[in-house]
Amino acid sequence: MAEEARKRGDHPFGCILVGPDGEVLLEQGNACSSEGDDLITHAEKVLTSRAAKKWKPDFLKLCTMFTSAEPCAVCSGAIYWAGIGRVVYGQSERSLKKMTGDHPENSTLDLLCRTVFAAGQREIVVKGPFLAEEAAKVQADFWKDREH
């Protein structure tokens, strides 16, 4: 999904939501460009909103979001409020911050999703980073090639 987003000219992030039986329920790439340059239409936030409209938290707590990069604070908040029970990510937020620098289209917060979730009242299992180098490859050269 991240590669598809990049091919469309969008920020290279993507995620999927997998149900308790392993079925892929939803897929989403970043939608910033397609949503009028809305910089908070991150893949995770858009997918979470779609999921919350379709399923109740008692089902979503049994689901897993697999995402190319660690969810930012906004996406983590959306995941928490929707009730998704598990997040597995590739590239860490800190690694992404090193890669993007101070790019105005990705002013990365150095705030771990685990920290956001820990401030809440429901448990969200977090696993990652996994396959971090592979996940970062889709980001390679993207940010330095974009105009500031």
Q: Which residues have a catalytic role annotated?
A: 44
In angstroms, the Cα distances linking 27 to 24, 62, 90 are 8, 17, 16
Angle of helix 73-82 relative to helix 43-54, nearest 10 degrees, comes to 10
Task: Give the SS3 label for residue 68.
Answer: strand
Q: How far apart are CA 68 and CA 139, in angstroms?
A: 10
Peptide bond into 57 cis (omega under 30): no
**Can you tell me the distance from the alpha carbon of 9 to that of 124, in angstroms, rounded to the nearest whole number?**
32
User: What is the spatial distance between Cα 39 and Cα 31, in angstroms, rounded to a whole number?
Assistant: 8
Distance, in Å, from the CA atom of 114 to the CA atom of 142, rounded to the nearest integer, reads 27
